[in-house]
């Protein structure tokens, strides 16, 4: 019985990292004023650890980012765009459990 309980606890302990959720957010980036701005915003967001995908739309002045919420946060994403010269704010968010 003790062996079974230990095995179960070890399994749960090592399974915790797989419980992270993939999160998709849309950031409003109103400072994009020319067609080359999205290149800079996309490059800044892709440098953030945990980011899986980035889609920046100049016409809508927004960026949609999919990331692992165990590795980064919305705050880190908005800080990355701000550091690149394009302050952003959260427009929309959704979470997908993996």
Q: How confident is the model at residue 13 (pLDDT cuts 50, 70, 90)?
A: low
Please state the domain extents for the chain: 20-97
Contact 40, 87 (CB under 8 A): no
How far, in Å, CA of 66 to CA of 22, rounded? 7
Q: Which CATH class is domain 20-97?
A: alpha beta
Contact 87, 28 (CB under 8 A): no
pLDDT for 3: 61
Q: In terms of residues, how long is the chain?
A: 98
How far, in Å, CA of 77 to CA of 16, rounded? 24
pLDDT for 79: 98
For residue range 60-78, what is the model confidence (pLDDT) as tens digits? Answer: 999 999 999 999 999 999 9
Nearest CA to 43 among 27, 54, 30?
54
13 vs 67: which has the higher pLDDT: 67
For residue range 74-94, what is the model confidence (pLDDT) as tens digits? Answer: 999 999 999 999 999 999 988
How far, in Å, CA of 67 to CA of 69, rounded? 6
Tokens of 65: 């980012």
């Amino acid at each position: 019985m003790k062996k079974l309980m230990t095995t179960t606890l070890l399994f749960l302990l090592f399974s915790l990292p797989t419980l992270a959720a993939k999160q998709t957010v849309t950031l409003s980036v109103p400072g994009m004023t020319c067609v080359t701005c999205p290149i800079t915003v996309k490059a800044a967001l892709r440098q953030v650890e945990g980011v899986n995908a980035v889609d920046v739309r100049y016409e809508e002045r927004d960026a949609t980012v999919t990331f692992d919420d165990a590795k980064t946060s919305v705050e880190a994403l908005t800080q990355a765009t701000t550091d690149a010269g394009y302050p952003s704010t959260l427009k929309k968010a959704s979470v997908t459990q993996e």
